[in-house]
Chains A and B, each alone.
Chain A
Amino acid sequence: MEQPEECFDPLQFAVDLDLTKSTDENTDEKVYISKSLIDRANGSSYIELASTKVTCAIYGPRETSSSSDESYSKCLLETSIKFSPFGRQKRIDPLLVQYDNDDDCEEAELCSRLEEALLPCILLHKYPKSQIDIIIDVIEDDGQHLLSAIILSATVALIDACIELYDTVVAKSLKRDQSLFTLCYMPNLAQVSCLFFDGEATPAELDVLTDEAVKQCQLLHKAICKVVISDLKAAVTSNGKII
């Protein structure tokens, strides 16, 4: 079959785009969390925050192929994030996506942020000479909740994979004008695992944002707890399943 030579994104020819469209800041966001939906993975989760949709699969802990000194004493964390072809307004051609790139790209940036957020909470020394693979697929991205959805999905999947954690890491992204603020919070320890901010703000404004984010994180934490507890209850009632 014949294939076209060159394709153009229809949006570049759009004549009626509303560029002044302001994003609603405090709309009621729908949150949907589910887990154990991927059979082959040790743990998996699906998160919807507003219209951002993310799945996460955890594979491991398994024997590592790495022979670095670090891997003898503790577990290695491998992350991989990919966008689906229809994740963004502009289509990402799946045939051009490379899976082994370590270049500077958005995915690599997101991976390193995810690792930063998760490292303080996993008991890595419990799994020496092994590695945990975190595989994340971004189904849809609305430009605000991406990082928080990725971190949340990884946390829920880690719980699902029965990997020992100090606490759950809950993340919340807030958008003010052009600046994006993401806070990763551990509610039981009452500690911030990491904080990302792109944009401009005064220290006072940052304080307000932090308080707001912590409040929202606690709500999200309750939602995660609810899902995990109901899942455990279902597992207990189903005949003789060992948890």
Chain B
Amino acid sequence: MSLDNHEELQKFIDLSEHYRTYLDEHDNSRPDGRSFSQMRPVQILDNFLQHSYGSSMIRFGNTTVICSITGQLTKPSLKSLRSGFIQTVVLLPRTQAWSTYGRRQQIINENLTLSQNLLDIIYKSKLINLEDLCIEEGKWVWCLQIDFQCLNNDGNLFDSCLFALNVALRHTSFPTVKVDPDTQKPLVYTKDLQNLEYNKEQQPLCCTIAVYDSAQEYQYLIDPTLEEETIAKSLLHYVLLKNDQICLIHKTSGAPFSPEKFHHCYSLARDYILQLRSKLNQQN
């Protein structure tokens, strides 16, 4: 946050002007040196929390996200006796909430939209089958709690959260639970761990594209940083499954956008997700 040099000062005063001058001077590169379709380096760290059943830490450039999967026991609802529950929470860094709202009273560090989108993806892509969370029909089910904590937000939270979820699911193991036939109380065997059943074939991954409007010509910025997200005309999220099927498309803002451009973005997203997927599987 130093304003010592000219570049930092210009960024502070007018971010989009800074971007425009940079793009005029340089051909096909962004201020951080990447080309438009290049992604930031990805770092993966898995199983690093000891209290969680499964966890991972992901870094996309400076964006750092921790994903933790824990579970609690609960009774199923009367509508569906065999299905468990899933809850997702995305927490933003409190520092960021602070600088945005300025005052201490108002710290909104929960990203509701992102939490709900992630939950929808898990449900609709059948990544986790709710019936797999059943312990005994009508008596006990698991309530899966998936928490994302963002340590530093430098843009592209959606991609990193979904990637972190895929990594964390791979090593998630739950304690074995049996139900006592006399008292109906669950018996938890903490030493006896078994892997969580989930659909390994789906692997939903997200690609975020920032559409930047420079001189009547759209530039598509893949894996945008926070600065790029703020100056972008609109943001596009494509979530693709392993067989290149579209799981979710989301476009922010009301800026007009022709169907051909959606097709173009889809092909960009597919290439990016292919790279991301190879990184994910390499780690196995």
Shortest Cβ distance from A161 into B: residue: B1
Shortest Cβ distance from A46 into B: residue: B151
Q: Which residues of A contact B62 (CB under 8 A)?
A: 37, 39
A9 contacts chain B at the CB level, 8 A cutoff? yes
Contact size range, B: 35 or more
**Known A-B contacts A86-B55, A94-B89, A242-B5; A7 and B68 likewise in contact (beta carbons under 8 Å):** no
Encode contact with B along A57-96: 1 for CB under 8 Å, 0 otherwise: 1010000010000000000001010101111110100110
Taking a contact as CB atoms closer than 8 A, the residue among B149, B154, B185 that contacts A84 in the complex is B149
Shortest Cβ distance from B89 into A: residue: A94
Q: Which of B52-66 contact A (CB under 8 A)?
A: 52, 55, 62, 64, 66
**Known A-B contacts A3-B87, A86-B147; A39 and B154 likewise in contact (beta carbons under 8 Å):** yes
**From residue B102, how far is it (CB to closest CB) to chain A in Å?**
9
Complex CA distance for A94 and B85, rounded to whole angstroms = 17
Q: Which residues of A contact B103 (CB under 8 A)?
A: 65
Shortest Cβ distance from B99 into A: residue: A40
Taking a contact as CB atoms closer than 8 A, the residue among B55, B110, B154 that contacts A94 in the complex is B110
A229 contacts chain B at the CB level, 8 A cutoff? no
Complex CA distance for A133 and B154, rounded to whole angstroms = 21
Q: Which residues of A contact B87 (CB under 8 A)?
A: 3
Contact size range, A: 35 or more
Q: Which residues of B contact A99 (CB under 8 A)?
A: 94, 104, 107, 109
Taking a contact as CB atoms closer than 8 A, the residue among B71, B96, B110, B119 that contacts A40 in the complex is B96
**Known A-B contacts A2-B85, A86-B49; A7 and B143 likewise in contact (beta carbons under 8 Å):** yes
Question: A40 to B1, Cβ gap below 8 A?
Answer: yes
Interface residues of B (CB under 8 A from A): 1-2, 4-5, 49-52, 55, 62, 64, 66, 68, 70-75, 77, 79, 85, 87, 89, 91, 93-96, 98-99, 103-105, 107, 109-110, 119, 123, 143, 145, 147, 149, 151-154, 175, 177, 185-192, 226
A–B pairs, 5, beta carbons within 8 Å: A4-B85, A10-B72, A13-B186, A16-B192, A99-B109
Interface pairs A-B: 9 shortest CB-CB: A7-B72, A86-B68, A4-B74, A57-B95, A85-B147, A242-B4, A13-B188, A99-B107, A8-B73
